Amino acid sequence: MARPGSGVLVSLGGGYSSQSMARVVVWEWMNEHGRWRPYSAAVCHHIENVLKGDARGTVILGQVEPQLAPYVIDLQSMHQFRQDTGTMRPVQRNFYDPSSSPGKGIVWEWENDCGSWTPYDMELCVSIQNAYEKQHPWLDLSSLGFCYLVDFDGMSQTNRQSQRKRRIRRRMDLAYPLIAGSIPKSQSWPVGTNSGTPCTCQQCMLVHSTRAASNAILALQQRRRLYGTDPTSAVVRQSNTFAGSSLWSPTTTVARGHHNNIKVGGGGGGKMEMNGGSFSCAPALVTLPTNHTLTINGQNNLNRPGTQRITVTTSRGSIPPGVPALPVKNLTGPGPVHPALAGMTGILLCAAGLPVCLTRAPKPVLHPPALNKSDIKPVPGINSIRRKTKKKHLRKGKNPEDVVRRYTEKVRTAPDEDCTICMERLATASGYEGVLNYKAIKPELVGKLGKCGHMYHLLCLVAMYNNGNKDGSLQCPTCKAIYGEKTGTQPPGKMEYHVIPHSLPGHSDTKTIRIVYDIPAGIQTTEHPNPGKKYSARGFPRHCYLPDNEKGRKVLKLLIVAWDRRLIFTIGTSSTTGESDTVVWNEVHHKTEFGTNLTGHGYPDPNYLDNVMRELSAQGVGEDNLKD
């Protein structure tokens, strides 16, 4: 049954003022696309419980959800730390109205490609629930940077660019924690009434050792500032406890090298005396570029004032047998990862007695070795070496009534079933009656598509066509069958292709076809989301690779057809950076990694050529287009 009322554009400002006395707390972490993703309500309750007892403590997420076992949150630096890879991400504490979806325990989710359900960002969830409660039939998310239309009658979301539809659902879950009063102020670590002994599991020992190692670093630095000397050893006094018991003995001796540097790797392991007992430190090998120095900002945590140099050996020692290699990611370049992560991880693992070899994560090989012009050859069986699209190639819209009549035939007696576009019965008038007025198409007329036989109100098909690319083609919303020649909204640019004398992983017996796409920035036209507004073009020219064999050349020919129909790219919101009004891929996957497959966009991938041909077929580009 259709929902009454009209649709709505989503409004900004899903959060809640921190000045209100009662608030719902949602903890969120930042993903690789720069978007804040909410933790579950159970995890948020756990974090709040830890926060009440220790405002600068550490939250072990695996105590609530087993799948989060590698993750801990440092409440002082407000970062999530993954212990098996070293990846760090910012976290934040956000507030919402108690009457909003998190306060009621309502979760909105969309169905991903794997068939499982992914929750929306919390601000989107709040906006969707608000519109649902007001009984709006649909919700436009474009003002939040997403080109999606949420249909509450059909419980689906539709990509306004590609017209791809996904199922959505609304489910009840645990309500998020409710707090009253002001936000708790930072407290000295540790705080709490629990007087028990620390947990002795490896995960907790790892967390405790992080604090112990950072305490030692700070004490060494303070001693150096006070005395200005360079003794061979220093006494570190106990400064912190965990849950009422000591992590360090009142006087803990730490071996020191020259110039107050802590050396990781190379020589033999150090030794720490903890609570009267000795704790041997296996050497942790850290492989980094020559002359690479790491600066630790930390007291108790990784983000407090004060610095201490760590000299990392540049020699590549042999890794002892049986010692697992632990890649440490994102050590250089911008991002939320602390620059001292590698050295700090080495120290804390050493303090915990865990022998681990820290290595830099391998980098993807995106491009082949340098080439001369004479090395580049045309692709066999293809005459040209480039294609261009210009403004004059941009199509003009066609009459919607003519397009719908071309691909449908009238149905005299409508069956007793729903029109899946407007969700009204086919025997009644279209849900677009009064919204669209076409003299030649009455609201009660029903048509059947020629190939697939699915039936809809003719007025609904006109409305669907008007909401699409208006390129003279129709796509059945039920089975996705395409009528006519589907074209896209790809902006002007050029496509080049040639053969290079190098082989892809998994295709050692063939050379490689390289495709180079180049699209400049420009101004959006009427077919784009925001006409008259500038659009950006990041990462161009983009290089893509295919094996130079029979199937690879067939895929290239299909990609050329898709390029001519302007289906390879579109303008929308980047799933990588979250940037809107930018040139993005249009659901036809390409291999952009030449020599590796670390990102999933490289070789070997034995199913890639078949998969991309299916994706092209879904866009109306099939082998029947290659006859001539």
Question: How many whole angstroms separate alpha carbon 319 and alpha carbon 328?
Answer: 16
What is the rounded average pLDDT of the residues 318-325? 48
Q: What pLDDT is recorded for position 281?
A: 38
Looking at 297-301, 488-492, 612-616, which range is the least confident one? 297-301
Distances (CA, A) of 249 to 239, 275, 278: 10, 4, 11
Cα dihedral value 503, 509, 511, 515, nearest 10: -70
Across the chain, mean pLDDT equals 74
Question: What average pLDDT does the segment 218-223 reach?
Answer: 56
Kindly indicate the confidence band of residue 471, based on its pLDDT and cuts at 50, 70 and 90.
confident
Using left for φ > 0, alpha for ψ between -120 and 50, and beta otherwise, residue 265 falls in left
Which helix (H) or strand (E) segment is 500 a member of?
strand 493-500
527, burial (CB in 10 Å: exposed 0-12, middle 13-18, buried 19+): buried
Position 316 confidence tier, pLDDT thresholds 50, 70, 90 = very low
Measuring CA to CA, which residue among 553, 556, 492, 543 is closest to residue 516? 543
pLDDT at 386: 85
Can you give the length of the chain in residues?
A: 628
- Reply yes or no on whether the pLDDT at 80 is more than 70: yes
pLDDT band of residue 167 (cuts 50, 70, 90) is very high
CA-to-CA distance for 75 and 190, rounded, in angstroms?
A: 12
Tokens of 286: 């850290």
Nearest Cα neighbor of 360 from 288, 440, 449 is 288
Identify the helix (H) or strand (E) that includes residue 73.
strand 71-74
CA-wise closest residue to 183 among 65, 33, 21, 406: 21
For 537-567, the pLDDT digits (tens) are 998 999 999 999 999 999 999 999 999 999 9
Burial of 195 (0-12, 13-18, 19+ CB in 10 A): exposed
**265: pLDDT confidence band, cut at 50, 70 and 90?**
very low
pLDDT tens for 391-411 read: 544 455 578 888 898 999 989
> In the structure encoding, which two tokens stand for residue 310, read together?
């760590």
Terminal Cα-to-Cα distance of the chain (whole angstroms): 49
Reply yes or no on whether the pLDDT at 228 is more than 70. Answer: no
408-454 pLDDT per residue, tens: 998 988 898 999 888 889 999 998 888 887 877 888 999 999 889 99
SS3 for 550-592, per residue?
HHHHHHHHHHHHHHHCCCCEEEECCCCCCCCCEEEECCCCCCC
Q: How far is Cα 204 from Cα 153, in angstroms, rounded to an integer?
A: 48
Output the pLDDT for position 504. Answer: 96
Task: Give the range among 41-55, 284-298, 477-491, 492-506 with minimum mean pLDDT.
Answer: 284-298
Taking residues 21-27, report their average pLDDT. 87
For residues 214 and 298, give the distance between their C-alpha atoms in angstroms, rounded to a whole number: 6
**Residue 311 scores a pLDDT above 60:** no
DSSP helix/strand/coil, 336: coil
Predicted structure pTM score: 0.48
**Predicted local distance difference test score (pLDDT) of residue 161:** 80
Higher pLDDT, 112 or 4: 112
191 pLDDT exceeds 80? Answer: no
> In the structure, how many helices (H) and strands (E) does the chain have?
9, 38
How far is CA 265 from each of CA 313, 316, 322, rounded to the nearest angstrom? 6, 9, 17
Q: Which of 138, 176, 182, 137 is nearest to 160 (CA)?
A: 138
Taking the alpha carbons of 63, 65, 66, 67 in that order, is the dihedral positive or negative?
A: negative
Given a cut of 70, whether residue 593 has pLDDT beyond it is yes
**pLDDT, tens digit (0-9, with 9 covering 90-100), for 345-358:** 655 655 555 555 55
Q: In sequence order, which ranges of 384-440 are alpha helices (DSSP H)? A: 400-407
| Number of other CB atoms surrounding residue 146 within 10 Å | 21
pLDDT above 80: residue 457: yes
The mean per-residue pLDDT over the stretch 149-168 comes to 90
515 close to 495: Cβ distance less than 8 angstroms: yes
Position with higher pLDDT, 149 vs 273:
149
Rounded Cα distance between 284 and 113, Å, is: 41
Structure tokens belonging to residue 332: 């250089």
For residue 548, count other CB atoms closer than 10 A to its CB.
Answer: 23
Answer whether 439's CB lies under 8 Å from 400's CB. Answer: no
**Phi, psi (rounded to 5 degrees) for 62:** -65, -15
